[in-house]
């Protein structure tokens, strides 16, 4: 058994999020919110995985901006650096170091089967070695902290399985060096649809970003694709992108009302979009003041990330030392 003497046996919950663009509400409901809620259940490790983002971001100043914005948005939404370990992956060298060790035991076939890699290449990204070994770096992120629970959206399930498989390979070769993580797929927010009804994703350009100003937000929502049912006619709420998104931000009573209005007919999609716009705006309103404060005080954000990285280096460094010992490097 691998125990964590430093945290008295509290469950470790870990997730990474790429600073590869502005966060959208799919990221928020699929990854950020569940993680923030879990601060009450165990010790949370929240990684801004900037090394992963390098597989898609080739502009240094964009990467810097996305990283800062990721930190600010996470903190504004309630990530508490007093309770959680919040840091940038690139500030903890053990991630890149373990990547190499793990890649030595990782079968090519395991990575060749990865849907995310195939999808990214099919969508026009060039098939770099980094893109290919992306899941191995992700495995390092998880395994360095002996994470018990890794909350992610459904699209990341296979990456989690790969991380487990890699840990099994290491343990088969060297004895019990690494702890097998559990995936926790967030129930009822499995896949948040985007403006066009496909999975909301930066790569599809169908996102609603967090903290948009009212005017552009409203414009985006008005652009959600709907069918051509006329205003008077009854509409089917099942599978409607508008209802799916509304469920995330409105009270259960308001959601029931919207569904009833769908079925009854007489209300057009424009009206439903207006309700959705107001609900999204109001849902995120309470986070805005602290976000503004953080934007005005970059030193505070730097300081939080620096402290997080110090804590992370200690934990990850110890785990990496254990691996070096087990495999004969030390
Ligand atoms: P994107 O697809 O926009 O590039 P990422 O792959 O960077 O988003 O995802 C970051 C996190 O947000 C992951 O944990 C992922 O599972 C979650 N996530 C992203 N999009 C969605 C979505 N549409 N529904 C649910 N979760 C999502
Ligand atoms: N691949 C994940 C994504 O695109 C991000 C990620 C990197 C991650 N390292 C991680 C998620 C470790 C969970 C645990 O969303």
Alpha-helical runs (H) found in the chain = 25-27, 33-37, 50-53, 60-76, 94-105, 108-112, 115-122, 129-143, 157-174, 214-222, 241-249, 252-264, 269-284, 288-296, 298-327
- For ligand 2, atom 15, the nearest C-alpha belongs to 17
Q: Quote the ligand 2 centre to 123 CA distance (angstroms).
A: 19
Residue 240 in 3-state DSSP? coil
Q: Which two tokens stand for residue 147?
A: 């994470």
Region 235-254: what's the mean pLDDT? 96
Q: DSSP class of residue 40? A: G
**What does the CA dihedral 208, 210, 216, 219 come to, rounded to 10 degrees?**
30
Mutate to test the pocket of ligand 2, among 14, 15, 184 (most ligand atoms within 8 A of CB): 15
Region 66-74: what's the mean pLDDT? 97
Q: How many residues does the chain have?
A: 330
In which residue ranges of the chain is CATH 3.40.50.620 found? 11-191+298-327
Listed range (13-17, 158-162, 174-178, 184-188) with the worst mean pLDDT = 184-188
pLDDT of residue 149: 87
Report the catalytic residues: 120, 199, 202
Q: Quote the ligand 1 centre to 166 CA distance (angstroms).
A: 23
Please determine, for residue 188, whether its predicted confidence score (pLDDT) is greater than 60.
no
CA distances from 132 to 55, 63, 112, 174, 221 (A): 9, 20, 8, 25, 35
Region 175-204: what's the mean pLDDT? 83
pLDDT of residue 7: 55
Q: Which two tokens stand for residue 241?
A: 């992108």
pTM confidence score: 0.91
Tell me the pLDDT tens digit for each residue of 240-249.
999 999 999 9
Question: Does 234 or 7 have the greater pLDDT score?
Answer: 234
* DSSP for 249-305, written as a single string: HS-HHHHHHHHHHHHH----HHHHHHHHHHHHHHHHGGGHHHHHHHHH-HHHHHHHH
Please determine, for residue 4, whether its predicted confidence score (pLDDT) is greater than 60.
no
Q: Which of 180, 177, 186, 131 is nearest to 154 (CA)?
A: 186
Q: Tokens 């800062």 map to which residue?
A: 68
pLDDT of residue 187: 58
pLDDT of residue 191: 85
Give residue ranges with CB within 6 A of ligand 2.
14-16, 18, 49, 52, 138, 141-142, 150, 152, 156, 159
Q: Tokens 């995310």 map to which residue?
A: 116
Tell me the pLDDT tens digit for each residue of 152-166.
777 888 999 999 999
Q: Which of 249, 317, 314, 315 is nearest to 283 (CA)?
A: 249
Tell me the pLDDT tens digit for each residue of 33-45.
989 999 999 999 9
Average pLDDT, the chain: 93
Dihedral sign, Cα of residue 74, residue 146, residue 327, residue 108: negative
Q: In CATH, which of 1.10.240.10, 3.30.1330.60, 1.10.357.10, 3.10.20.90 is domain 212-283?
A: 1.10.240.10
Q: Which two tokens stand for residue 322?
A: 């254990």
pLDDT of residue 154: 76
pLDDT of residue 84: 97
Please determine, for residue 118, whether its predicted confidence score (pLDDT) is greater than 70.
yes
Q: Is the CB of 156 under 6 A from ligand 1?
A: yes
Q: DSSP class of residue 207? A: -
Tell me the pLDDT tens digit for each residue of 140-150.
999 999 998 88
pLDDT of residue 109: 97
Gap between the Cα atoms of 227 and 268, Å rounded: 11
Region 188-197: what's the mean pLDDT? 83
Tell me the pLDDT tens digit for each residue of 205-232.
999 999 999 999 999 999 999 998 999 9
pLDDT of residue 1: 43
The architecture in CATH of the region 11-191+298-327 reads 3-Layer(aba) Sandwich (3.40)
In which residue ranges of the chain is CATH 1.10.240.10 found? 212-283
pLDDT of residue 79: 98
Gap between the Cα atoms of 43 and 35, Å rounded: 10
Q: H/E element holding 149?
A: strand 149-152
Angle, in degrees to the nearest 10, between helices 241-249 and 269-284: 30
């Amino acid at each position: 058994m691998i125990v964590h003497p430093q945290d008295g046996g509290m469950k470790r919950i870990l997730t990474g999020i790429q600073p590869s663009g502005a966060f959208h509400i799919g990221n928020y409901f699929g990854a950020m919110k569940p993680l923030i809620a879990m601060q009450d259940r165990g010790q949370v490790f929240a990684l801004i995985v900037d090394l992963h983002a390098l597989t898609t971001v080739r502009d240094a100043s964009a990467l810097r901006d996305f990283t800062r914005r990721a930190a600010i948005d996470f903190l504004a939404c309630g990530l508490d650096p007093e309770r959680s370990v919040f840091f940038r992956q690139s500030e903890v060298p053990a991630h890149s170091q373990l990547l190499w060790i793990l890649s030595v035991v990782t079968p090519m076939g395991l990575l060749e089967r990865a849907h995310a890699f195939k999808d990214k290449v099919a969508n026009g990204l060039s098939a770099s070695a980094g893109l290919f070994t992306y899941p191995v770096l992700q495995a390092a992120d998880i395994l360095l902290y002996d994470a018990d629970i890794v909350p992610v959206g459904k699209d990341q399930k296979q990456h989690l399985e790969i991380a487990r498989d890699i840990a099994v390979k290491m343990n088969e070769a060297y004895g019990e060096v690494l702890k097998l993580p559990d995936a926790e797929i967030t129930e009822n927010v499995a896949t948040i649809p985007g403006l066009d009804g496909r999975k909301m994703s930066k790569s599809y350009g169908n996102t609603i970003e967090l903290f948009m100003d009212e005017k552009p937000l409203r414009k985006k929502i008005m652009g959600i694709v709907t069918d051509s049912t006329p205003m008077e006619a009854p509409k089917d709420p099942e599978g409607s992108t508008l209802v799916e998104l509304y469920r995330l931000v409105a009270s259960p009573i308001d959601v029931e009302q919207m569904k009833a209005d769908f079925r009854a007919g007489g209300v057009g999609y424009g009206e439903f979009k207006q309700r959705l716009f107001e609900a999204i705006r109001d849902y995120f309103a309470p986070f805005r003041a602290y976000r503004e404060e953080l934007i005005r005080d970059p030193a505070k954000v730097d300081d939080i990330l620096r402290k997080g990285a110090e804590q992370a280096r200690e934990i990850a460094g110890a785990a990496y030392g254990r691996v070096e010992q087990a495999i004969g490097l030390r």
